[in-house]
Structure 1
Amino acid sequence: MGREDKTPAEIRTTDKLKIQKILGEAGYVVEMGNSSVPTVVCKRREDMSKDLAAIRKILKEQRYEGSFGVRAPRKTDEMITSEETDNSEVMDEMIPAAG
């Protein structure tokens, strides 16, 4: 019983930001919504249950007991991703080749 139990009200923003960083380093896309809950955006809807198990394992290892979310990608997420890809292709075309 050496571990302190935290109630949800005692979970600090720094704990949530730490978890956001750890999940990001693990390869997940993490966002903090208006509710300040770290939410993992899965790459595909089919991966949600598999990702959820892996995320729970990471959170358990970090002793994080606060709220978190997992969601499927939205159509707007796909638009943003494709726009970023289009912009990076434009940037590649604008950079002159060395040599």
Structure 2
Amino acid sequence: MGREEKTPAEIRTTDKLKIQKILGEAGYIVEMGNGSVPTVVCKKREDMSKDLAAIRKILKEQRYEGSFGVRAPRKTDEIQVSESEETSEMMDDMVAAAG
């Protein structure tokens, strides 16, 4: 029995979601980009080439042959992280004051 070959047009959404979950469990930040392409957001621009090699290895192990992306963080990504950290700190302060 040969391995089932899929062309990029035949990659299903469930395959993409499975890869998104696997990469997320591996510690990567994954978003579904334009056209529902799983895109890994690297923590630092300098890490992109190292992360790309590791991501390709994971995708090869999973026999995923669809499209994927890797991008550097945007300034807006950093703002969202900072805002979520501030919100978390504010919630902790509120709980401590109430308790």
TM-score by length of 1: 0.95
Shift of 1:2: 1.5
Distance 2:42 2:30 in 1: 9
- 1:34, CA displacement in angstroms? 2.6
Q: CA RMSD in A?
A: 1.3
Counterpart-to-counterpart distance in 1, 2:78 and 2:84 = 10
- Distance of 1:96 and 1:76 partners within structure 2: 30
In structure 2, how many angstroms separate the alpha carbons of the residues matched to 1:95 and 1:51? 38
The TM-score with structure 2 as length reference comes to: 0.95
Q: Name stretches of at least 5 consecutive residues in structure 2 with no aligned partner.
A: none
SS in 1 for 2:87: helix
Residues 12-37 of structure 1 show CA distances to partners (whole Å, capped at 9, x for unaligned) of: 00000000000000000000023100
Structure 1 unpaired stretches of 5+: none
Which has the larger helix fraction?
Answer: 2
Where do 1:4-23 residues align within 5 Å?
4-23=4-23
Instruction: Report the counterpart of residue 86 of structure 1 in structure 2.
Output: 86
Please list every run of at least 4 consecutive aligned residues from structure 1 whose deviation after the TM superposition is greater than 2 angstroms: none
Distance 2:61 2:28 in 1: 16
Structure 1 equivalent of residue 77 of structure 2: 77
Which residue identity lines up with residue 47 of structure 2 in the other structure?
D
Percent of aligned positions that are identical? 85
| Whole-angstrom distance in 2 between the partners of 1:85 and 1:74 | 17
Amino acid in structure 2 at the alignment position of 1:43? K
User: Where do residues 49-88 of structure 1 align in structure 2 (5 Å cutoff)?
Assistant: 49-88=49-88
Number of residue pairs the alignment of both structures matches? 98
Partners of 1:20 and 1:27 lie apart in 2 by 11
Aligned partner of residue 24 in structure 1, secondary structure: helix
